Amino acid sequence: MGNTLEAIHLLENSLQNLFSNYEFLRKENEILLQNNTILQNQLLEKEQLLVFQKKELESLKIAKTIDGSGTNTKDTKLKINSLIKEIDKCLVQLQQ
């Protein structure tokens, strides 16, 4: 009978340890999920900022070459031509 009680106490201790570990891991997982969400949002913001800054840089390059102070006049002319083509396409679509 002593062995049975001892086995029951060992089982109870094991279950308590398992439950404690489960609770700890559950809370840790919750924290990690929150951190992951925060980091994903930060990454999305940084990606959007990067896209915005690339567009701004392109605009500055065009403005600088139109001003005549830059050396990329060929790039500017190509960009202007592509913009004109896009405008023409839009006008055609509007006329339909």
Condensed to tens digits (0 to 9), the pLDDT of residues 36-45 reads 999 999 999 9
Grouping H, G, I as helix, E, B as strand and the rest as coil, residue 72 is: coil
pTM for the model stands at 0.54
Residues 7-29: what's their mean pLDDT? 95
Using an 8 Å Cβ cutoff, are 57 and 51 in contact?
Answer: no
pLDDT at 92: 86
Residue written as token pair 């086995």? 7
Contacts of 73 (CB under 8 A, 6+ apart): 65
Domain ranges of the chain: 2-95
Cα torsion through 16, 20, 26, 31, rounded to 10? 170
The pLDDT tens digits for 67-92 are 665 566 677 777 788 889 989 888 88
H-helix segments, the chain: 2-67, 73-95
What is the Cα 19 distance to its own chain's centre? 36
Positive or negative, the Cα torsion across 59, 64, 66, 67?
A: positive
pLDDT averaged over the chain? 87
The answer to whether the CB of 8 falls within 8 A of the CB of 15 is no
